[in-house]
Structure 1
């Protein structure tokens, strides 16, 4: 199936595996790429040395195009951009809108720039700055999310920009792909669906928790980091929501120290990142400190398998996923379903 997305990045199928922190490592990304999707490394939880090693490992596993997801507000964003350029990565994606300068630097080096956005005005902004495409995530999506449903946000963005639009939030099968194409999208992006594959390195106990969840077991909370965050509802989430501000802040500071050690960032870099986050989201300093919860709480679940001590970011779609196929099996199924739906619509 050829679309503006497949032509832009050179993949077989109009499907993107999103760059989830602690989840989208070399094994999952290379498996998605070999299956015909655009696999994207989640680099926000990697040091720059780990990012370079991960890029090289993916390349050793596949000849297919792949990308790297970056935090545009990170203090070392330009260093990570240089790694992408030097290592010849095909695509750079961003969790937040990148600056005009970062987009220009990447495009001058021949890198395809695909920011993720959650509002029409953000899509218009990055398109005007030269982004090659955008991933549009509706409120159904996992992790940090907005309030507007994909079915409302997607057509708004498609009508507003003249670059390829990739739909995210609520997609897991071929029917969804056809629906997104009908709205005018050039493809779909999936996070939770790729997390729940046999190629994902997420521990089995965590995958089991996702598979057991119903759509009512997935909630949006601000208790973790002060921002709306979609995740599985657990006893830990309930305890965070019930904790006082002083307790929450003390936990956040401890986890910030842990993340600093893991990420290799200095306290000065963490403070700069906090200032950027505070300005970009208009947060209080208390909320900025609470944001330190996220990387360590996600790591506890996604790496250590501690469903009791970690949080599990999740799209609502987890409530209708029931199996753990390989990426090859998943992509084959999605494309077969899409073909069947298109044939049925054609009469």
Structure 2
């Protein structure tokens, strides 16, 4: 199935596996690439050395294109950019918009730049800076998300820019892909659906916990890191929602210490990242401390399998999922179903 995305990136199918922290590692990314989609490694929860090893492992598993998600505000962001260039990674994606010079550096070395955006004005900005495409996530999506549904956000972005637009938030099957293409998108990106596959390294017990949730099984909370964050409804989330500010900050500070040790970041680097985040938005210092809390809460659930102590990011689509298919079967099924739908509509 050819679209502007497949032509731009060099993949067979317009299906993107997003760069989910603690989830999108070499096994899942390479399986997606082998199945013809675009797999994206999540580097925000990796040290530089871990990212270097993950790229090498993914390369050993597949010869097909894949991407790496970067934090543009990270203290070592430029060093990671150079790693992608030296490694010949095909795509660089970003959760926060990279600066114009970073986009230029990547593009000058043949790397496709695809930031994620949550508003038409953000898409216009990065398109003006030279981004090759954008991923636009509606409010149905998991993790950090906005309040506008994909069905409204997607057309607003399509009307605003002339570069390929990939739709995210609420997609899980061929009907969704067909709908996104009908809107004018160049493909779809999925997180929760790929998290719930055989190749996902999330513990089986945690996957089963996801499958037990219905369409009302997620909640958008600000108690994780001070920003809107869609997660599964759990006892921990309910406790966080009812906790006071002081208790939340104390827990966050302790987790920030643990995250620093895991990633190898110095206290100076964390402070510089905090100042960068504060300059780039409206975050208070308390929210910055909470932001450092997020990776460890996610790790407890998605890596350690402790659903009582961890946060489980999830899109609303979890309520429509009931299986754990292999990645190849998932992608093939989505593309085949979408093609059949579009063919039927075109001849009806």
Alpha-carbon shift at residue 280 of structure 1 (Å): 2.3
**Partner Cα distance (2:238, 2:281) in 1:** 25
TM-score by length of 1: 0.99
CA RMSD in angstroms, aligned pairs only: 0.7
Deviates more, 1:311-320 or 1:332-341: 332-341
Give the aligned partner of residue 103 of structure 2.
103
SS of the residue corresponding to residue 124 of structure 1 reads helix
Alpha-carbon shift at residue 340 of structure 1 (Å): 1.7
**Partner Cα distance (1:62, 1:33) in 2:** 7
**Partner Cα distance (2:213, 2:269) in 1:** 37
Give the aligned partner of residue 76 of structure 2.
76
Give the aligned partner of residue 64 of structure 2.
64
Consecutive aligned runs of 4 or more in structure 1 exceeding 4 Å deviation = none
Q: How does 1:273-292 map to 2 (within 5 A)?
A: 273-292=273-292
Give the aligned partner of residue 322 of structure 2.
322
**Partner Cα distance (1:280, 1:229) in 2:** 19
Alpha-carbon shift at residue 281 of structure 1 (Å): 2.8
**Partner Cα distance (1:209, 1:277) in 2:** 33
SS of the residue corresponding to residue 216 of structure 2 reads helix
Q: How does 1:153-302 map to 2 (within 5 A)?
A: 153-302=153-302
Say whether 1:121 aligns with 2:114: no
**Partner Cα distance (2:229, 2:281) in 1:** 14
Alpha-carbon shift at residue 344 of structure 1 (Å): 2.0
SS of the residue corresponding to residue 310 of structure 1 reads coil
Per-residue CA distance 1:76-113 (angstroms, 9 max, x = gap): 11011010001110000001111001101101111000
Q: Which runs of 5+ in 1 are unaligned?
A: none
Give the aligned partner of residue 20 of structure 2.
20
SS of the residue corresponding to residue 215 of structure 1 reads coil
Give the aligned partner of residue 312 of structure 2.
312
Say whether 1:53 aligns with 2:53: yes
Alpha-carbon shift at residue 308 of structure 1 (Å): 0.6
Per-residue CA distance 1:205-230 (angstroms, 9 max, x = gap): 11011101001111100011000000
Give the aligned partner of residue 90 of structure 2.
90
**What is the aligned length?**
347
**Partner Cα distance (1:242, 1:274) in 2:** 26
Per-residue CA distance 1:106-140 (angstroms, 9 max, x = gap): 01111000000001000000000000000001111
Alpha-carbon shift at residue 278 of structure 1 (Å): 2.0
**Partner Cα distance (1:212, 1:344) in 2:** 34
**Partner Cα distance (2:51, 2:13) in 1:** 26
Per-residue CA distance 1:223-267 (angstroms, 9 max, x = gap): 110000000010000111111111111111100000000011001
Per-residue CA distance 1:3-58 (angstroms, 9 max, x = gap): 00000000000010000010000000000000000000000000111101100100
SS of the residue corresponding to residue 84 of structure 1 reads helix
**Partner Cα distance (2:206, 2:98) in 1:** 32
Alpha-carbon shift at residue 336 of structure 1 (Å): 1.4
Q: Which runs of 5+ in 2 are unaligned?
A: none
**Partner Cα distance (2:272, 2:237) in 1:** 28
